[in-house]
Amino acid sequence: MTDVQNSSADQNNRSVITASAIHAALLEAIRKARYLPGAQLPNERKLAETFGASRQQVRDALLILNEMGLISRKVGSGTWLSEQAPQIIERIDADVDIHAPHEHSLLETIEARLIFEPAVAALAARHISQSHLKLLKSSLDAILSPGSWIEFKSRIYQFSRAYYVASGNGLLLRTFDQIIKSRTDHKFDGRRENGEVAEIVRNHSHEQLAQIYRAIADGDEVRSEAVTRNYLVAIAASSGTG
């Protein structure tokens, strides 16, 4: 809990601390990836000691996080950060409306990508060259340092576009370019597109896409297809389609 202690050092010097202040400090620790998705948080007693607060104040703070969907609390087991925490944080920070009404929604787009994109990744693994690998790697690395949320989303799509290029299929590449245009035209359904991207969000996306990169780099068609499908299914699930 050193990181949370640091983030709340000033608060601990006060005679009174509120549940909202505890919530804010924990939320910031989550945003900065102090906890990994699925990780267990410290227990109420430890949190109360850390913040110099009562256990009831800690419970109230955790209730807020629970209502946000960021944690789950299991009697006799403890408090756990949701596996969907990166997606939840991203939607909050960018004010994303995944059900935004327009011709080609995110959900429709993911369904379409699931039909052909895993096979595209397999083709990329079959035809991978050093120049394609260099493009894939540079696109992957760029995801960790975006200037804004809209740039972050664009870089994620550019990584995927790189394996369409590597596949050697121009028709599928042109199809994906239309998908990129549609998503870009709607600003990826975010209403705060110039906001910062939380570290937990950047790291999570990078880790997922790194699995695709490694499979393609290894020339493993079967694994490339599987991890790409898993990636898209995870997006669908977090968007309410799974």
Same domain, 133 and 71: no
Same domain, 21 and 115: no
* Domain end point (choices 57, 83, 109): 83
**Residues 84-98 pLDDT 10s:** 999 999 999 999 887
Residue 16: give the domain boundaries.
Answer: 2-83
**Residues 109-165 pLDDT 10s:** 899 999 999 999 999 999 999 999 999 999 999 999 999 999 999 999 999 999 999
Same domain, 64 and 99: no
Same domain, 77 and 115: no
The span from the CA of 192 to the CA of 183, in Å, is 15
Same domain, 113 and 211: yes
- Domain containing residue 222: CATH number: 1.20.120.530
pTM, full prediction: 0.86
Q: How many domains does the chain have?
A: 2
* Domain end point (choices 66, 83, 100): 83
Instruction: Assess contact for 116 and 167: CB atoms under 8 A.
Output: no
Same domain, 133 and 97: yes
How many other C-beta atoms can be found within 10 angstroms of the C-beta atom of residue 217? Answer: 17
Burial 108-129 (b: 16+ CB within 10 A, else e): ebbebbbeebbbbbbbbbeebe
Question: Which residues have CB under 8 Å from 155's CB, separation 6+?
Answer: 139, 142, 143, 146
* Domain end point (choices 17, 48, 83): 83
**Residues 158-207 pLDDT 10s:** 999 999 999 999 999 999 999 999 999 989 989 898 989 999 999 999 99
Instruction: Assess contact for 200 and 31: CB atoms under 8 A.
Output: yes
